[in-house]
Structure 1
C-alpha cells in the first residue's frame, strides 16, 4: 500500500508540474496549475461518487467500480473485504439457522430473554407448551404470560441450582419443569420440559401408597387386637405357642408403625393441612419430646440435654414439626449406646432458625449420607432389626422441612457420632412479642 501511495503521489505531482509548464508555455502558469488541480479534484469526486453508489446499494452487483492507481487498489481491497465479510455472515447465518432448526426439533421448550425478561426468541415447542405467538409476543416480558408468583420469584432470584415445577399457563393439564441458565449480561436461557407423565406416575405412586396403607390398617388392627388378647392370655396356651404369638405380636406392631409412617408421609407429601400453619413454640415442643425420649431411653439412661438460646417461634404446622423433631431425637436414643450423650440445641442467627440433634452413637459412613432421606434406605439393615425402625423416619423429616422451606444437614463419621441439623429460613421465624 505504501508503494501504491508513493506512485500515486509522484503521478499527481508530475501531472500538476505538467499543467504548470503548459500554462507557463502560454504565459499563464497559475491558470495551468489551477486547471490541473481542478481536473484532479473532479477525478477524485467522480471516484468518491462511484464508491458512494457502490456502498449505498451493495445488491446492484458484487463487482467494485473500475479505476486505476490508488483508487483502483482501494476498490480492489475494499471489494475483497466485502466479499470476506459476506462469506463470514453467510457462514454465521448458516450456523444460526442450523442451531434454530435443531432447537426447533427439540421436544423441550427453549426461550431466550434479556436480563429483564423480555422474550427475544423461542422454539416451536415453547409455543406448544406455553402458548406463545411469534407474531405478537416478541419483546414481551415472559412473566406476563407465566403469571405464577413462584416463577417470577425464581426468575429474579438467580439461584437456578434446582428446577421449578409448575402447570402450563396455556394448557393446565401439562406439568412443566423449568430450568434457567444465565449467559451474556444476565440474559436467560429458559428450558421448559414436559414432565406430565412423570408427575402422573408420582401422583399414582402417592395415591397407591396412601390407599393401600389405609386399606391395610383395618385388617391389621383386627389381627393385632386378637394377638394382643392371645398375649394377655398366654399363660393358658401351650408353651410352644407362646414364643410364636409374642413374635407375631411384635411384627404386627412393626407393621402398624410402618403403615402409620406411610400414611403420615403421604399426607406430608401431598401438603395436607399446610394451611394450618401457626406460630409454634419450638422450645416448649422440643422439651416435651426430650421428656418422652428419656422415657424411651429407660434402663439405657442416656444423658439427654436440651438448650434453647432463642425465643423465636416457627410459623408452621405443629403436628408436622413434632413428627420431624421426634423422629430425629428418638433415632438418637435408638442408635446411641447406653449412657451415651444426646444434645439438642435450638438457636437462631442471621440465616434463620436451626435445631441441632447431636449424639455419641456409632456414627454413619459418609458414603451413605446422601441417601439417608430416601424411603426405606438402610445404612445398616441389622440395626433396624434391633430397633424396629421402618426406614421412613428421615424421609418424613425431609418432607416436613420441604413444606416449611427448610433443609436437613447431616454430619456423621463412623465412631464419632452424628449430628442432624434442621435449617429454617428467616421468613419462617416469628418473635414471641409479635401479636
Structure 2
C-alpha cells in the first residue's frame, strides 16, 4: 500500500511538472501549472461523482466503476469490501433464519424482551401457549399481554433460580412453567413450557391420596373401636388371642397415624389449609411441643433443653407451624436412644429466624439426606418399623416451610447425631409490641 501511494504521488508530481514544462515552452510556466491543477481537479471530481453514485446504490451494477491509478485501486478495494460484506451478511442471515426455524420447531414458547420488558421476538409456540399475535404485539410491554400478578412479581424480582408455575393468559386450561434468563444488557429470555399433563397427573395423585385416606378413615375407626374394646377385655379372651389382638391394635393405631398424616399432607399440598397471616408465639408453641415430647419420651428419660431468643413472634399459619415443629422434635425423641439429649433452639439473625433441633442419636448416612423429605423414604427401614413412624413427617415439614417461604437444612453423620434446622425469611418475623414485652417481663 505504501509502495502504491509513492508511485501515485510520483505520477501526480510528474504530470504537474509536464504541464509546467509545456507552459514554460510557451513562456507561461505558472499558467501551465494552473492548467495541470485544474485538469487534475476536474478528473478527481469526475471520479468522486462516480464513487458517490456507486455508494448510493451499489447494486445497480455488477462491478465497481472503471478508473485508473489511485481511484481504480480505491474502487477495486471498496468493491472487494462490499462483496465480503454481502457474503458475511448472507451467512449471518442464514444462521439467524436457521436459529429461528429451529426455535419455531420447539414445543416450548420462547420470548425475547429488552430490559424494560418490551417484546422483541417470540416463536410460534409462544403464540399458541400465550396468545401473542405477531402483527400487533411486537413492541408491546409483556405485562400488557401477561397480566398475571405472580408473573409481574417474578419478572421484576430478577431472582430466576426457580421457575414460575402459572396458567396461560389466553388458555386458562393450559398450565405453564416459566423460566427467565438474563442476557446481554439485562435483556430477558423467557421459556414457557406446557406442563398441563404433569399438573393433571399430580392433581390426580393428590385427589387419589386424599379421597382414599378419607374413605379409609371411617372403616378403620370402626375396626380400631372394636379392637380397643377387645384389648380392654383381654382378660376374658383365650390366651392365644391376646397377643394377636394386641398386635392388631398396634397396627391399627399405626394406620390411623398414617391416614392422619396423609390427609394433613394432602391439605397442605392442595391449599385447603389457607395460609393465614396470624402471629404465632414461638416460645409458647415450642414449650407446649417439648412438654408433649417429654411425655412421649416416658421411661426413656430424654434430656430436652429449650433455648428461645428475644424475637419469638412469627407470621404464618400456627397449625402448620405446630405440625412442622412437633414432627421434628418428636422424631428426635423417637430416634434418640434412652437417656440421650435433645436441644431445641430458636434464634434470629440477619437472614431470618431459625429452629434447630439437635439430638444425640445414631445419626444418618449423608448419602440419604437429599431424599429424606420424600414421602415414605426410609434411611433405615428397621428403625422405621421399631418407632412406628409413617414416613411422612419430613415431607410435611418440607411443605409447611415451602408455604412459609422457608426451607429445611439437615446435618447428620453416623454416630454423631443429627441436626434439623428450619429457616424462615426475615420478612416472617414480627416485632414484639412494647406492652406485650412488658407483660412478659412482669410474668417472668
Instruction: Report if aligned partners of 2:311, 2:429 keep a CA contact under 8 Å in 1.
Output: no
Structure 1 residues 304-383: aligned runs within 5 Å: 304-383=304-383
CA–CA distance in structure 2, aligned partners of residues 244 and 278 of structure 1: 47
- Tell me how far 1:92 sits from its aligned partner: 0.6
Partner in structure 2 of residue 172 of structure 1: 172
CA–CA distance in structure 1, aligned partners of residues 141 and 344 of structure 2: 48
CA–CA distance in structure 1, aligned partners of residues 317 and 138 of structure 2: 44
Partner in structure 2 of residue 12 of structure 1: 12
Partner in structure 2 of residue 40 of structure 1: 40
Structure 1 residues 223-302: aligned runs within 5 Å: 223-302=223-302
CA–CA distance in structure 1, aligned partners of residues 425 and 149 of structure 2: 19
Instruction: Report if aligned partners of 2:300, 2:338 keep a CA contact under 8 Å in 1.
Output: yes
Q: Which runs of 4+ in 1 moved over 6 A?
A: none
- Tell me how far 1:321 sits from its aligned partner: 0.6
Partner in structure 1 of residue 427 of structure 2: 427
1:276 is paired with a residue of what secondary structure? coil
- Tell me how far 1:95 sits from its aligned partner: 0.4
Partner in structure 2 of residue 81 of structure 1: 81
Partner in structure 2 of residue 391 of structure 1: 391
CA-to-aligned-CA distance 1:265-313 (integer Å, 9 cap, x gap): 0001112232433001111101100010011111111110111112331
Query: Is 1:186 matched up with 2:200?
Result: no
Query: Is 1:99 matched up with 2:99?
Result: yes
Instruction: Report if aligned partners of 2:410, 2:420 keep a CA contact under 8 Å in 1.
Output: yes
CA-to-aligned-CA distance 1:236-265 (integer Å, 9 cap, x gap): 111111111111110000000000000000
CA-to-aligned-CA distance 1:193-231 (integer Å, 9 cap, x gap): 000111011111100100000000000000111111111
Instruction: Report if aligned partners of 1:4, 1:69 keep a CA contact under 8 Å in 2.
Output: no
Instruction: Report if aligned partners of 1:209, 1:266 keep a CA contact under 8 Å in 2.
Output: yes
TM-score (norm 2): 0.96
TM-score (norm 1): 0.98
- Tell me how far 1:106 sits from its aligned partner: 0.6
- Tell me how far 1:153 sits from its aligned partner: 2.1
Report which stretch shifted further, 311-320 or 283-292. 311-320
Partner in structure 2 of residue 108 of structure 1: 108
1:46 is paired with a residue of what secondary structure? helix
CA–CA distance in structure 2, aligned partners of residues 238 and 62 of structure 1: 112
Instruction: Report if aligned partners of 1:154, 1:160 keep a CA contact under 8 Å in 2.
Output: yes
- Tell me how far 1:31 sits from its aligned partner: 1.0
CA-to-aligned-CA distance 1:314-363 (integer Å, 9 cap, x gap): 11111111100000000000001111111111111111111111111111
Measured on the aligned residues, the alpha-carbon RMSD in Å equals 1.2
- Tell me how far 1:434 sits from its aligned partner: 7.8
CA–CA distance in structure 1, aligned partners of residues 413 and 115 of structure 2: 44
Query: Is 1:55 matched up with 2:55?
Result: yes
